């Protein structure tokens, strides 16, 4: 279990939604305790992914459905805690991560008769690199729900420490191991 | 202008009368003696910490309720879209 007082922690996009949707009482208790000590820290990239998602859902919907999506978007924006910017330092580290791993470590997602395009997969992989870079620059553990991608980044950084001077290791925490 | 009138509102002090639990008051007096500060300082610090915890608890409820509103009623595919995973019909690609 991760001590909720020991943060702050940076939450990846999928980790944030996992925590937001959970109905497990022990996870909710952990979040309440965490929030009594810290804000939810996220990258500006997470805000970008989320707002793009709400906008795509809004465009796919009509009438009352659109009002519902817009209310959800506003609720999300009202809930924002600390948003870390994509600044010069993060860009430098993200560029190094992308050079180490130009291609995503796992294939595009598929679900029934739906599939993620190659360019969408690449964009998502690059966003993950920016979020990992933010965690390194902010010197915060990264809470994630995407082990395959982030463990690949962590291993690559460990193999090339000379490209990430004075940043230390990327510390990862899986959502399921918080409680 | 005296010092008190130059203090910002949040630091201004006011005199009041409180009824406190005897045990808590005894503990606060003991702490004040140990730290060689007056009783008002100890009570003010304890009150300030209590208010911080109360505000944090309120904020925590607000954030969790906000998250509930932001994600409720969505299908797994819709949440995937909010997570940046855009799936399209395979036949169209």
Tens of pLDDT, residues A70-100: 999 999 999 999 999 999 999 999 999 999 9
Report the alpha-carbon distance of residue B13 to residue B21 in Å, rounded: 23
Residue B18: DSSP 8-state = -
Predicted complex: ipTM over 0.95: no
Is A136 in a helix, a strand, or coil?
Answer: helix
Residue B78 with chain A: CB contacts under 8 Å: 57
Q: pTM for this structure?
A: 0.84
Confidence at residue B12, expressed as pLDDT on a 0 to 100 scale: 85
How much is the pLDDT for A113?
Answer: 82
Instruction: Identify the pLDDT of residue B37.
Output: 95
Report which DSSP code applies to A101: -
Phi, psi for A174 (deg, rounded to 5): -75, 140
Closest CA to A136 of A164, A159, A155: A164
Q: Do B87 and A53 touch (CB under 8 A)?
A: no
Could you tell me how many CB contacts below 8 A there are between chain A and chain B? Answer: 104
User: B3: distance to nearest CA of chain A, Å?
Assistant: 34
pLDDT of residue B93: 47
Which of A76, A19, A56, A124 is CA-nearest to residue B77? A56
Encode pLDDT of A141-155 as tens digits.
999 998 888 999 999
Q: Are A141 and A10 in contact (CB under 8 A)?
A: yes
Q: Alpha-carbon distance A173 to A135, whole Å?
A: 12
Residues in chain B closer than 8 A to A114 (CB atoms): 77, 87-90
């Amino acid at each position: 279990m991760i001590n909720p007082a020991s943060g702050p922690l940076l939450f990846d996009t999928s980790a944030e939604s996992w925590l937001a949707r959970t109905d497990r009482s022990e996870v909710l208790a952990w979040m309440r305790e965490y929030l009594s000590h810290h804000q939810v820290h996220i990258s500006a990239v997470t805000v970008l992914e989320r707002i793009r998602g709400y906008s795509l859902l809004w465009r796919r919907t009509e009438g009352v459905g659109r009002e519902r999506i817009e209310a959800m978007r506003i609720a999300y924006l009202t809930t924002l805690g600390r948003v870390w910017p994509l600044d010069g330092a993060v860009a430098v580290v993200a560029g190094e991560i992308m050079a180490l791993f130009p291609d995503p470590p796992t294939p595009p997602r598929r679900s029934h008769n739906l599939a993620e395009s190659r360019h969408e997969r690449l964009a998502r992989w690059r966003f993950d690199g920016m979020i990992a870079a933010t965690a390194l620059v902010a010197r915060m553990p990264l809470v994630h729900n995407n082990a395959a991608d982030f463990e690949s980044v962590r291993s690559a950084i460990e193999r090339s420490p000379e490209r990430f001077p004075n940043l230390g290791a990327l510390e990862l925490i899986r959502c399921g191991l918080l409680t | 202008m005296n010092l008190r009138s130059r203090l910002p509102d949040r630091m201004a002090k006011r005199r009041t009368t409180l009824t406190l639990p005897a045990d808590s008051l005894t503990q606060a007096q003991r702490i004040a003696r140990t730290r060689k500060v007056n009783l008002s300082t100890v009570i003010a610090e304890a009150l300030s910490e209590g208010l911080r915890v109360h505000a944090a608890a309120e904020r925590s409820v607000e954030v969790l309720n906000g998250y509930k509103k932001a994600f409720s009623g969505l299908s797994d595919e819709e949440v995937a879209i909010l997570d940046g995973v855009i799936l399209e019909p395979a036949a169209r690609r």
